[in-house]
């Protein structure tokens, strides 16, 4: 009992040194931890190194100061004399910790300042640090305290064998984790698929790899499973990946038209890359139609369900507006009968109910209710005047984010918003300048290109699901011919609007070399209208 008491007292003294060092270093460590870990710089790197050195340095300083106080206080000199070698061993150990931390943290920060990833992964660093500390302890016991460590090593080996046999699974995960960290199969922020589990790598440690799925679920996969599985890494060496979407179209639709529509649909989606460019090919002739494969590239393959869904949504709208049919399986006879009906429907005039809807939308539009009015604000055109026009107006739909037309394109049509909203933006020669606007139901847009022959002056996209009335040049000609004074009224209104925007038109990127002022003069617009009417 008398021999155990001094040992217990020494252990308590050394434990007190450590606790005191924690208390002393806590304010400094708290302040250093406030450093932004995402910031690079020499000053920030020094702060991170000091954070690592603060605890072992505090232990050394506090231990030495308290030991000197005990010596000068003459407290139990026999106890202090017996503890002198142990105190030296304590200081030697923490001095080794200080040097080891300085080397490790300094190397990490030097690689960070060079914008390079430290070659030794976290798990390997922890294991190497632990082995070096254990080796330091054995060295101090043998060479400084002169303790025979052979029995200790033998007993340690026996305990290690017993523990290793009992913890085969844990050691398997540990070794698998070590191999993964050496070869860097997966690292945090990688998006991977391991077996049936797919997600972003959040953390890898000595036992497991943690993935966060698209749905936000945290999946914990043992390292032994990761090491024995085929890993699909969607992030490295580059996140560039190719998608594919398979679509069918009827035999009556020309493959060239279908391929153009597929490629345009892919380009409408923001996440789809322009380089490499999307492409589409014919893959198979089936009994009920032709199969096509659309291929496109993104940097967000892990989010492929959303990206491919958006592309397929765009395909439906493109096909619908172009009259391209997506077939469904059927027999040859049923297919022939069906295609005959479709062909007849394409050549049939619009049904009366559709004409009435279009007529009502035209009457509510700005061009009829606000532009073509008399001095008292009464519309000049009645239902009977517009019924013939309504038969030739095409009703089209666009989905959210889809482009109606782009700035700089030639334009021979204009549009009336039936429902939904469209967003427009104008880019000028000054790259930093842009004008944005929004159009609501009833608004007319695209008419400037139709009436002046100039390129489109804005890019128009669907803010949400929208339905538009598409007025072609032939239909616009019919509107001009309804009354003798309509060309005069429209030319005056268009010229007034154009004069307000003349300065802006001159600064458009697409207007270089064009005499905009001459083009938008009222007399020239009126002449263009009369040429449309053959006068």
CA distance 109 to 98: 16
At 11, list the tokens. Answer: 């252990």
Q: What is the predicted pLDDT for the residue at 1?
A: 45
Q: What is the predicted pLDDT for the residue at 2?
A: 47
- Residue ranges of domains in the chain: 4-175, 184-233, 241-345, 349-532
Which of the residues in the chain have pLDDT under 50?
1-2, 164, 166-167
CATH number, domain 349-532, options 2.60.120.260, 3.40.640.10, 2.102.10.10, 2.60.120.10 = 2.60.120.10
- Are 293 and 259 contacting, i.e. CB atoms less than 8 angstroms apart? no
- Are 374 and 406 contacting, i.e. CB atoms less than 8 angstroms apart? no
Q: What is the predicted pLDDT for the residue at 352?
A: 73
Degrees, nearest 5: CA angle 478-460-404: 65
Q: What is the predicted pLDDT for the residue at 172?
A: 57
- Are 418 and 358 contacting, i.e. CB atoms less than 8 angstroms apart? no
- Are 410 and 449 contacting, i.e. CB atoms less than 8 angstroms apart? yes
At 335, list the tokens. Answer: 């297919």
Same fold, 184-233 and 349-532: no
CATH 2.30.30.60 is right for the domain spanning 184-233: yes
CA distance 393 to 415: 10
Number of neighbours of residue 209 by Cβ within 10 angstroms: 29
Q: How far is CA 164 from the centre of its chain?
A: 45
- Are 390 and 359 contacting, i.e. CB atoms less than 8 angstroms apart? yes
Phi first, then psi: what are they for 458, rounded to 5°? -155, 160
CATH number, domain 241-345, options 3.40.640.10, 3.40.1160.10, 3.30.70.100, 3.40.50.720 = 3.30.70.100
Non-local (6+) Cβ contacts of 72 within 8 A are: none
Q: What is the predicted pLDDT for the residue at 167?
A: 46
Q: What is the predicted pLDDT for the residue at 160?
A: 60
Phi first, then psi: what are they for 425, rounded to 5°? -145, 145
pLDDT (tens digit, 9 = 90+) per residue, 512-535?
A: 555 555 555 666 666 666 676 666
At 227, list the tokens. Answer: 């090491």
Degrees, nearest 5: CA angle 77-82-87: 105
Degrees, nearest 5: CA angle 453-457-463: 125
Q: What is the predicted pLDDT for the residue at 287?
A: 78
pLDDT (tens digit, 9 = 90+) per residue, 152-207?
A: 666 565 556 555 454 455 555 566 666 666 666 788 889 999 888 999 999 877 67
């Amino acid at each position: 009992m008398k021999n155990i008491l001094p040992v217990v007292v020494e252990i308590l003294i050394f434990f007190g040194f450590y606790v005191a060092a924690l208390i002393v270093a806590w304010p400094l460590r708290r302040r250093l931890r406030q450093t932004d870990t995402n910031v690079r710089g020499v000053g920030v790197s020094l702060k991170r190194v000091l954070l690592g050195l603060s605890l072992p340095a505090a232990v050394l300083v506090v231990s030495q100061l308290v030991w000197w106080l005990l010596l000068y206080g003459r407290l139990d000199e026999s106890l202090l004399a017996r503890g002198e070698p142990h105190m030296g061993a304590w200081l030697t150990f923490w001095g080794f910790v200080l040097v080891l931390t300085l080397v490790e943290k300094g190397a990490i920060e030097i690689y960070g300042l060079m914008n390079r990833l430290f070659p030794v992964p976290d798990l390997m660093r922890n294991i190497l640090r632990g082995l070096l500390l254990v080796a330091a302890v054995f060295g101090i016991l043998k060479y400084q305290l002169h303790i025979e460590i052979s029995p200790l090593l033998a007993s340690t080996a026996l305990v290690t064998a017993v523990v290793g046999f009992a913890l085969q699974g844990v050691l398997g995960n540990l070794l698998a984790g070590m191999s993964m960290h050496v070869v860097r199969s997966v690292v945090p922020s990688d998006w991977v698929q391991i077996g049936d589990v797919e997600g972003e790598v959040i953390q890898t440690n000595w036992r497991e790899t943690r993935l966060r799925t698209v749905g936000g679920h945290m999946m914990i996969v043992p390292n032994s499973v990761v090491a024995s599985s085929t890993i699909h890494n969607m992030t490295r060496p580059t996140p560039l990946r190719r998608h594919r979407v398979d679509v069918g179209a009827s035999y009556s639709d020309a493959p060239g038209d279908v391929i153009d529509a597929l490629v345009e649909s892919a380009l409408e989606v923001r996440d789809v890359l322009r380089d490499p460019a999307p492409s589409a090919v014919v893959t198979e002739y089936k009994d009920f139609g032709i199969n096509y494969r659309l291929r496109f590239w993104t940097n967000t393959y892990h989010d492929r369900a959303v990206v491919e869904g958006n592309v397929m949504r765009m395909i439906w709208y493109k096909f619908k507006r172009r009259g391209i049919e997506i077939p469904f399986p059927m027999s040859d006879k049923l297919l022939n009968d069906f295609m005959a009906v479709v062909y007849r429907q394409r050549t049939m005039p619009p049904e009366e109910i559709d004409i009435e809807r279009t007529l009502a939308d035209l009457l509510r539009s700005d061009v009829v209710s606000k532009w073509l009015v008399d001095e008292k604000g009464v519309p000049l055109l009645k239902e009977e005047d517009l019924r013939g026009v309504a038969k030739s107006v095409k009703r089209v739909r666009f989905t959210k984010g889809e482009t109606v037309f782009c700035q700089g394109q030639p334009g021979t049509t204009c549009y009336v918003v039936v429902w939904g909203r469209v967003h427009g933006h104008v880019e000028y020669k000054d790259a930093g300048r842009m004008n944005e606007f929004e159009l609501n139901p009833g608004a007319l847009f695209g008419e400037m290109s139709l009436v002046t022959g100039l390129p489109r002056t804005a890019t128009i996209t669907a803010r949400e699901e929208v339905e538009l009335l598409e007025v072609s040049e032939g239909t616009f000609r019919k509107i001009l011919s309804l009354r003798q004074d309509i060309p005069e009224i429209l030319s005056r209104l268009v010229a007034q609007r154009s004069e307000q925007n003349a300065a802006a038109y001159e600064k458009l990127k697409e207007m270089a070399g064009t005499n905009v002022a001459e083009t938008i003069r009222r007399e020239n617009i009126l002449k263009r209208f009369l040429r449309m009417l053959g006068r």
